[in-house]
Amino acid sequence: MRVEYDAVDVTIDGATIVHDVTVSIPSGHFVGIVGPNGSGKSTLLRCLYRALTPSAGTVRVDGVDNLTVSMRLNALQVAAFTQDSPLQFDFTAAEVVATGRLPHGRAFSRDRAHDHLVCREAMLLADAQHLSERSFLSLSGGERQRVLIARAFAQEPKVLVLDEPTNHLDVHHQYAVLSAAKKLGVTVVAALHDLNLAAQYCDQLFVLGAGRLVCSGTPAEVITVDVLRRWFEIGGHIITHPRLGVPQIIFDEKEYR
Ligand SMILES: Nc1ncnc2c1ncn2[C@@H]1O[C@H](COP(=O)(O)OP(=O)(O)OP(=O)(O)O)[C@@H](O)[C@H]1O
HSE-up (13 A, CA, CB side) for residue 194: 16
pLDDT digits (tens, 9 = 90+) for 47-68: 999 999 999 999 999 999 999 9
Per-residue DSSP letter, 239: E
Provide mean pLDDT across the span 196-220.
98
Q: Which of 10, 11, 17, 41 to mutate to test the pocket of ligand 1 (most atoms within 8 A of CB)?
A: 17
Q: What is the architecture of the domain spanning 3-222?
A: 3-Layer(aba) Sandwich (3.40)
pLDDT digits (tens, 9 = 90+) for 4-27: 999 999 999 999 999 999 999 999
Q: What are the boundaries of each domain within the chain?
A: 3-222, 223-257
ipTM: 0.97
Q: Whose CA is closest to 34, among 49, 24, 46, 44?
A: 44
Residues contacting ligand 1 via CB (< 6 Å)? 12-13, 17, 35, 37-43
